[in-house]
Amino acid sequence: MAALPKKRPQEVTLILGKLKRHFGKTLENASMEHIYQACALCVRDEIMDRWINARNKVDKEGKKMVLYMSAEFLIGRALVNNMINLEIFDKYKAALDYMGVDIHQVEQEENDAALGNGGLGRLAACFLDSLSTLNLPAMGCGIRYEHGLFRQRILDGSQVEMEDNWIETGDVWEVENPEEEVEIHFGGEIHEVWTEKGLKIEHYNYSSVLAVPYDMPIVGYNTKMPAALRLWSARAKNNLDMTFFNRGDYTRAMEERELAEVISKVLYPEDNHEAGRQLRLKQFYFFTSATMQSMVRRHKNLYGDLHTLPEYVEVQINDTHPTLAIPELMRILMDEEGFGWEEAYDVVRRMFNYTNHTIMSEALECWPKDMFRLLLPRIYTIIDTLNEKYCARLWQAFPGDFEKISSLSIIAYNEIRMANLCVAVCKKVNGVSQIHGDILKTSLFRDNYVMDPEKFIAITNGITHRRWLAKANPPLTKLIEKHIGKGFLTDYKQFDKLEALLDNPEFMEGFIAAKEENKRRLAGYVMEKQGIEINPHAIFDVQAKRLHEYKRQLLKVLHILYLYNKITADPASFTQPVVFFFAAKASPGYVRAKNIIRLINAVADLVNNDPKTKDILKVVFIENYNVSAAEILIPATDFSEQLSTAGKEASGTGNMKFMMNGAVTIGTMDGANVEICERVGRENMFIFGATVEEINQMQRFNSYRPGEYYEKDAELRDVLNKLIDGSLPGVNERQFADLYHSLIFGDYEKADQYYLLHDFRSYINAFNRAVKAYQHPEEWYRMAAYNTARSGIFSSDRTIREYNDRIWHLEPLKG
Ligand code: 26Y
């Protein structure tokens, strides 16, 4: 055992004090969870003073703030991240060492706060970190789902979903604010009443739900201005309905309560797919109404006059999910504050901005009109009026073009289209990468762009390099700090200084050592969690993201089968050891996605057990991909697989995390891959596949014939046949027939919608080039380190600066 430090660190006293006062424990009889809780309480103490001071200052100085509204915030764990951002990690580590406790074990006691599905929710979390680090006044507003994204297990090769219970360990970070609760109304009828002041809308027979805010501090690096994440929790107005209770109808007496509280019970696990469910609509109205009511209340308290709201608040809506904030604010201003329509609209149109994250039609939110009207009658009439006025404007722009007007209108074919509402009302509409911004202008919002060209902008996504480098990759971070100091943590431009170090042997040795250490850490994780042994000297090839057909995990599977066929036919044809990691959750109702998981595991079974391949190829499916797993997986990666069909991935943010951690990208010219390519050049990346233009061509001329690839390419045919010829162990021969058919024949839809067969050869080629490059270590690591050196621009600090310069115009809080 290493010698104990002589002096007892002060933090030891703090931690022991918490153990005693909160849990009645001493170190000897405290559980690891107690120790986690005690550390978290200590860290929380360090945050609270700053937090309260900063908020008071914003109020006192009358600073403008942004409300970042999002149905999802994928936060992950907070303890170690907060310690790093507060610059107290080393002290706590030393204190725990002194106590004989491993800080990494303590860390693992915390459940991930997984209040999001994937990219969109994680982006929101990165943005809060950057807002706070840049000292910009901000509040994230969302839903306090009791159960976040399901936990995933793989049983017999298939995904099984299990309940997530993040609150068990997450509640240390929250502050409940019951005095700020607001009431939300659903259903009922509305009546127009003439009063001496004019027409008034009255709402009757509605049912009420209370919204209680829980605030969580989001601590940026060395911040003066921790951001708040305000999550709303649903509560019944009356605990028990006594009228029913007194009649002896106990079930009925409980019913209201259950109906109310179900609203914030669980996060919908669908990512990029909307099913138009009523409970989801309730969730969205619930948190948007609560946010607008509390915003109005605060503004009245601080400034009195609601006409000045746009001078003090910017609202950014993260995709269309929070759109109802727009008509809800109209309602509050008109029905509760006596504004006229134009007066209210003039406030609203100056406050809201909309970020679009997808162009895929199945993810565009449309609500059935009748369901909407029943649940939200007043909001419906407001949207109806917005639509009428908007259509009048459209008529001016496109006189007589009924088809165009109906395609742009907010309500049509008995549906309410949220994206059209956003585009109609919002000040700015932004895409999340340059190519995505272009696609918005030229396709999804083409006609709106003609009407309001200045409204549409593109701001490329980013990631917080505090979590994704400083937290996730300690060895590389230490190395960077040693050579260029700590400045890069708050100044992403300093990444550029790394470029000069590519010629410094000491730095390069350190870089390689860091990658190797991270690979060993991942190998240990896979052994501990899943009992799988992997070779840490193999290439680590990683595809980690939600399971979706457009992301093309299936293309990677076809490639592995191709290598399998090659090696079993001729062992000399491919000898480079590679571990292929997949990590992905599928929406529980997405049958094809789940079947792809089943396929990955069947292929793993095949190649990991065949004596001819088992020392060369290894396929590992990482269970339960979440933020914490990503923190282990990404720093260990050599090949970053970014395979989406061009035009489909709005940006991607995983691609940036891998790049920053010194992985080299194999990818299509899609989303932010295009900008990664601009940063590193084609010689430091492996680009493959059809471009957006080529895909558009094939679509325009309906010229894509996947069957021809099948017929002409014998190796491809052999690969595809493996799906149905009984070679895959542990499954029925019919198990993957649907996947096979979807690629070659298609049934209710077009065959191979995502162009896998088209890009198959091009992918193999790119992969082979990457393997070749890897086999020249000096050049390879130079390429990898160059990727890190060029990644600064993908810090979300840059992204938030751009939002601020182009949309919000907030002033940072000064010390
Ligand atoms: C409402 C429901 C249908 C829905 C739920 C979740 C719709 C969409 C989503 C999530 C979308 C999402 O995560 N989009 C991703 O956003 C990232 C951040 O901008 C992008 O990097 C990524 O390309 C995009 O797919």
For the chain (815 residues), the mean pLDDT of every run of 10, in chain order, is 72 97 96 97 94 93 97 98 98 97 98 98 98 98 98 98 92 95 97 85 94 97 95 90 78 78 96 87 98 98 97 98 98 96 98 96 94 98 98 96 96 97 98 98 96 97 98 98 98 98 98 98 98 98 98 98 98 98 98 98 98 98 98 99 98 98 98 98 98 97 95 98 97 96 80 97 98 98 98 98 98 89
Q: Which ligand 1 atom is the nearest neighbour of the CA of 649?
A: 23
Number of domains in the chain: 3
Tell which atom from ligand 1 comes closest to the C-alpha of 644.
23
3-state secondary structure 17-64: HHHHHHHCCCHHHCCHHHHHHHHHHHHHHHHHHHHHHHHHHHHHHCCC
Please give the Cα distance from 374 to 368 (Å, whole number). Answer: 10
Distance in angstroms (rounded) separating the CA atoms of residues 243 and 661: 62
| pLDDT computed for residue 747 by the predictor | 55
State whether the beta carbon of 439 lies less than 6 angstroms from ligand 1: no
Active-site annotation, residues: 357, 545-546, 551, 653, 657
pLDDT of amino acid 170 = 74
Q: Is position 719 within any domain?
A: no
Q: How far is the CA of 73 from the centre of ligand 1 (A)?
A: 12
Q: Which of 282, 358, 439 to mutate to test the pocket of ligand 1 (most atoms within 8 A of CB)?
A: 358
Q: What is the pLDDT of residue 22?
A: 96
Rounded-to-integer distance, Cα 431 and Cα 126, Å: 17
Q: Which two tokens stand for residue 466?
A: 């505090």
426 with 569, same domain? no
What's the CA gap between 85 and 104, in Å, rounded? 17
Question: Residue 733: inside a domain, yes or no?
Answer: no
The answer to whether residue 813 is domain-embedded is no
Judgement on whether residues 475 and 567 belong to the same structural domain of the protein: yes
Does residue 768 lie within any of the structural domains? yes
652 in ligand 1 pocket by Cβ < 6 Å? yes
In a shared domain, residues 226 and 317: yes
At which residue do the structure tokens 């044809």 appear? Answer: 573
Sign, CA torsion 253/255/260/262: positive
Compute, in angstroms, the gap from residue 122 CA to the centroid of ligand 1.
10
Nearest 5 degrees, angle CA 336-CA 341-CA 346?
100
Residues paired with 745 in a beta bridge: none
User: Domain range holding 284?
Assistant: 63-77+112-461+801-808
Same-domain status, 69 and 85: no
Question: How far is ligand 1, taken at its centre, from the CA of residue 43, in Å?
Answer: 32
| Same-domain check for residues 131 and 43 | no
Query: Residue 652 C-alpha to ligand 1 middle, in angstroms?
Result: 9
Question: Could you identify the residue written with the tokens 């200052």?
Answer: 57
ipTM value, please give it.
0.96
pLDDT of residue 5: 58
Return the bridge partners of 458, or none.
Answer: 431
DSSP one-letter code for 225: S
Together in a domain, 535 and 662:
yes
Q: Quick check: is 624 in a domain?
A: yes
Q: CATH no. for residue 264? A: 3.40.50.2000
Rounded to an integer, what distance in angstroms lies between the CA atom of residue 478 and that of residue 633? Answer: 19
Q: Is 790 in the pocket of ligand 1 (CB under 6 A)?
A: no
E strands, 424-473, are 428-431, 456-458
Q: Is 787 in the pocket of ligand 1 (CB under 6 A)?
A: no
Considering the domain architecture, whether residues 687 and 628 belong to the same structural domain is answered as yes
**Burial status of residue 246 (CB atoms within 10 A of its CB: 0-12, 13-18, 19 or more):** exposed
Q: 271: Cβ below 6 Å to ligand 1?
A: yes
Q: Is 416 helix (H, G, I), strand (E, B) or coil?
A: strand
| Gap from CA of 94 to ligand 1 centroid (Å) | 40
Atom 2 of ligand 1 has which residue's CA nearest to it? Answer: 274
Pairing mode, if any, of strands 207-218 and 182-186? Answer: antiparallel
Does 537 lie in the same domain as 456?
Answer: no
In this structure, the answer to whether residues 149 and 13 fall within a common structural domain is no
Span between the terminal Cα atoms of the chain, in Å = 44
User: By alpha-carbon position, which residue is closest to atom 6 of ligand 1?
Assistant: 271
| 98 and 242 together in one domain | no
Asked if the structure places residue 197 within a domain, the reply is yes
Residue of the CA atom closest to atom 5 of ligand 1: 271
Q: Same domain, yes or no, for 432 and 499?
A: no
Query: Is residue 606 situated within a structural domain?
Result: yes
Residue 631 lies in a domain: yes
Q: Are residues 47 and 147 in the same domain?
A: no
651 lines ligand 1 (CB under 6 A): yes
CA of 355 to the centre of ligand 1 (A): 11
